[in-house]
Amino acid sequence: MLNGKRIALIIGGGIAAFKVPEMIRALRAEGCAVTPIVTKAGAEFVTPLTLSVVAGEPAHQDLFDVSREAEIGHIQMSRNADLLVVVPATADLMAKMAQGLANDLASTLLLATDKPVLIAPAMNVRMWDHPATQRNIRQLQADGVRFVGPVEGPMACGEFGEGRMSDPAEIIAAIRAALTEGPLSGRHIVVTSGPTHEPIDPVRYIANRSSGAQGTALACALRDLGAQITFVTGPASVPPPAGVKVVRVETARQMQTAVQEALPADAAVCAAAVADWHVLNAGQQKMKKDGTGRAPALEFGENPDILAQVSQMPEGRPALVVGFAAETEKVMEHATVKRARKGCDWIVANDVSPATGIMGGSENAVTIIDAQGPETWPRLAKEEVARRLAQRIASALTTKE
């Protein structure tokens, strides 16, 4: 897939830079040419000589290289690549990009390029959460910069949280997606997936049997058609897809906030099995038996209706909103009513009664209900359902142009 492609790979100054040589080797194994550009800080973690050897071509550092600048080398370098990739993208580099600064070779290339840019952020969790960084993220997303990661995990500084760089395999998957000229290239799609967990107390919760497999497969299929995906997932049992921005949540209210923050988008696909209710009187400590034989009385409040809120946005509504209806009886009747009530464009209806084995299984049998009526598909592997649905979404978005 990458044969004949050329990447300008900018290496920022973070400890995660030690993973870059491994990534360069993998890219070259797929037939991709890699031009390393290392920042002054990046060279403290991985040497230009190492980068040159693994890339098979010189690593560049200096903006004022007389031999290259006689031919305006930084301009040519930024235009000759099919994609600019920043790994790791530090808070400093992201700030420069967001502000349009160009005071070294890396930032100048990023400002001078007319090609797509993909970044893999890596930084301390506090730096990632800082309002300035979050403001820069929003600006870069508005500028069309693609993100892969960061992910949650342990960090070199000893802390734990979001800010850890994605693994090289995930970054390479994102590179493949960015270089795929699919029908969804340049589109941003929000996909929700998995169950939500609604706490009863600090150790117990209310949940459902959703594995997140269908939402994950759909995110992969949309990614492979060239879309930029924000994947908002509850605590699913299947791992999230590579090459997409993953936002992990637990509760329905957290998912609502994450979806709102992910917008605007060209399409929203609400595949998550969101709990209808949350516990109003959830215990702050573990609830104990009191010897009376009576269970504690739980009071419930209705969770936000994410699908309806996105469907009925007065401004900035995605061009296409797709919901899912997992039913155990009167599937078509309930799904048709749900589509009308929530105001979404399509409903993907399926029967998840225990006898079907669909909830948590590897197959699905769905009916797509839209303004023209129902379209029933045969029982298929969830990956095939996702592929067909992604193609249908791509066709609908193209038609709406």
The verdict on whether residue 276 carries a ligand-binding annotation is yes
β-bridge pairing 204-206 and 6-11:
unpaired
The verdict on whether residue 231 carries a ligand-binding annotation is no
The verdict on whether residue 342 carries a ligand-binding annotation is yes
The verdict on whether residue 318 carries a ligand-binding annotation is no
Burial pattern 254-287, b for ≥16 Cβ within 10 A else e, equals bbbbbbeebeebbbbbbbbbbbeebbeebbeeeb
The verdict on whether residue 304 carries a ligand-binding annotation is yes
In this structure, which amino acid lies at residue 76?
Q
Please tell me the distance from the alpha carbon of residue 94 to that of residue 128, in angstroms, as a whole number.
11
Please tell me the distance from the alpha carbon of residue 327 to that of residue 325, in angstroms, as a whole number.
6
Please tell me the distance from the alpha carbon of residue 84 to that of residue 97, in angstroms, as a whole number.
13
Alpha carbon separation from 99 to 87, 111, 132, 138, 246 (Å, rounded):
19, 10, 12, 12, 25
The verdict on whether residue 105 carries a ligand-binding annotation is no
The verdict on whether residue 19 carries a ligand-binding annotation is no
Under 8 Å between Cβ of 136 and 172: no
Both tokens of residue 336? 């048709």
The verdict on whether residue 370 carries a ligand-binding annotation is no
Residue with tokens 């006898």: 355
Of the candidates 32, 157, 270, 344, the residue annotated as catalytic is 157
The verdict on whether residue 378 carries a ligand-binding annotation is no
Alpha carbon separation from 267 to 291, 326, 335, 394 (Å, rounded):
53, 20, 20, 10
Catalytic residue status for 344:
no
Its sign, for the CA torsion 360, 392, 220, 229, is negative
Please tell me the distance from the alpha carbon of residue 181 to that of residue 160, in angstroms, as a whole number.
37
Binding site residues for CTP, as ranges? 276, 286, 304-307, 324, 338, 342
Question: Known catalytic residues?
Answer: 157
Which segments are annotated as binding site?
A: 276, 286, 304-307, 324, 338, 342
